[in-house]
Amino acid sequence: MSQGLEQQAREQWKSRTGFMLAAMGSAIGLGNIWKFPYITGEYGGSAFIIVYLICIALIGVPVMLAEFAVGRKTQKDAVGSFQELTPGKPWFVTGLFGVMAAFLILSFYGVVAGWALSYTTKAMSGDLLAVPGEQMADHFGGFIGNALSPLLWQTLFMAIVIIVVVRGIKEGIEKWNKILMPTLGVLLVILVIRSVTLPGAGEGIAFLFSPDFSALSGEAVLVALGHAFFSLSLGMGTMITYGSYVPKNVNLPTAATGVSIADTGFALLAGLAIFPAVFAFGMDPAAGPGLIFITLPAVFELMPFGQFFAVLFFLLISVAALTSAISILEVPVAYFMRKFEWTRKKATWILGTIIFLFGIPSSLSLGAWGEFTIFGKVFFDAVDFLASYILLPLGGLCIALFTGWALGKQKSLEIGGFGEGSVWGKLWIFSLRFISPVLVALVLLYSTGII
Ligand code: PHE
């Protein structure tokens, strides 16, 4: 449609490593450190983890490769990619859903990331660990229910995200990920070592690694799959957009596998940083979303040098959230830059600000606006639900069908970077054609209450 308009040289990653770190930065986020541990806790520990690993391998890696391939082939944003590959067909709507999902996800992501930033400073000043352990829940509830303070932290967080994205691919996103991702790795390793060497840590390790399949339910399987999408940043065009800046000589199947392994390894390590400590101090592993903001601070209080580790931990979450948020903002930014020929600066500031404003009701809905509900959910939960459980699986379903069926096998194998007769290529197509669509459709039917 708009071909011929986008003649300015398109930005590219400076190096393969830079691209890999940025994609890992996108994948590794609140999903790994905040959500994965608490859903693992709620759905029974290691049996859930096994199902999660299967979902990553059978569906996550193939769909990520499909996104990278579509982006790199077309060198376009989430919407433009589909228009270029199948002109005149409605597949581009997938990209529009993605842009919408990006708006929604980043709006509440910024709220939770703001909490993490605030907890980092509270841990530094000593205020956090001065709260008696049994009052942590009230403390957290009081903080997120307060009208002003979380908003200020959300503002600060979103401002940092905007400042990075304004600088562009090489100078902004790539540069920051190159510094932040290794930092993240070091922080996590220190925390894991601390946690697994606590007396009584064994029980937590067993919780993670000795499966009890009786704890597993159909619901757990669907939650695992839904989370695999969220954690790998799939279904909303993030990986299409990041893939569109990848030079021709990068091997995409290796990249998709590497990013998925790093993301999953990080989630497991986050579990190892959290559960042994939770068990060692006799706390509840199934505390839900409050696990890291309520249970963990109480755990740090009981630990020698707890304040130091608390600072590291909340810094870890803030940094992980930052590198993911950057990738989410890049989805609409890339789209608006091409579609409306906006400069990067204009697109980033305008879209970043709108998303920030949209996050305000999410934040307030946990306090002052708590009575206002949509389908029985407060605004924050309604937005999370719509984006994470409806739009992302829908996007994932469409991208699987698109590369599995619409593009044609030959074309897909070619853009995926598979040689003639490659067994991996065949398996990839098989997953995109049959396994991924069926399972993802089940998640969708489940989350909409149809099954
Ligand atoms: N993968 C990120 C996380 O685990 C979240 C995310 C979702 C990022 C979708 C981009 C797209 O926190």
* pLDDT tens digits, one per residue of 152-178: 999 999 999 999 999 999 999 999 999
The residue whose two tokens read 């986050």 is 270
* Cβ pair 319, 176 in contact under 8 A: no
Pocket test for ligand 1, best of 230, 328, 392 (most atoms within 8 A of CB): 230
pLDDT: which is higher, 447 or 236: 236
Mean pLDDT of 253-262: 98
d(CA 98, CA 330): 11
The pLDDT of residue 1: 42
Judged against a pLDDT cut of 90, whether residue 214 lies above it is answered with no
Say whether 377 sits in a helix, a strand or coil: strand
**Structure-block tokens of residue 173:** 């996103």
Kindly indicate the confidence band of residue 5, based on its pLDDT and cuts at 50, 70 and 90.
very low
pLDDT at residue 420 is higher than 60: yes
Looking at residue 213, its pLDDT comes to: 81
Question: What is the rounded distance in angstroms from the CA atom of residue 39 to the CA atom of residue 270?
Answer: 13
- Domain 3-447: homologous superfamily in CATH: Amino acid/polyamine transporter I (1.20.1740.10)
pLDDT at 322 over 60: yes
Please report, for the chain, the start and end positions of each structural domain, with discontinuous segments joined by +.
3-447
**Does the beta carbon of 322 lie inside 6 Å of ligand 1?**
no
Q: How far, in Å, CA of 141 to CA of 33, rounded?
A: 20
pLDDT of residue 383: 92
Mean pLDDT of the chain: 92
Residue with tokens 């803030």: 318
**Which residue CA neighbors atom 9 of ligand 1 most closely?**
233
| Cβ 30 under 6 angstroms from ligand 1 | yes
Could you tell me the CA-to-CA distances from 126 to 15, 120, 307 in Å, in that order?
41, 10, 7
> Which of 361, 96, 55 is closest to 231 using CA atoms?
55
Q: Which of 310-319, 367-376, 378-387 has the lowest mean pLDDT?
A: 367-376
Instruction: Give the model's pLDDT for residue 147.
Output: 85
Q: Provide CB contacts within 8 A for 148, sequence distance 6+.
A: none
Number of C-alpha atoms within 13 angstroms, CB side, residue 297?
A: 26
pLDDT at 296 over 60: yes
Tokens of 41: 């806790």
pLDDT of residue 8: 58
- Whether residue 4 is predicted with pLDDT greater than 50 in this model: the reply is no
Residues 6+ apart with CB under 8 A from 315: 120, 187
In the reported structure, the alpha carbon of residue 52 is separated from the centroid of ligand 1 by a whole-number distance in angstroms of 16
| Per-residue pLDDT at 212 | 77
The rounded distance, in Å, linking the Cα atoms of 93 and 236 is 11
Q: Is the pLDDT of residue 320 over 90?
A: yes
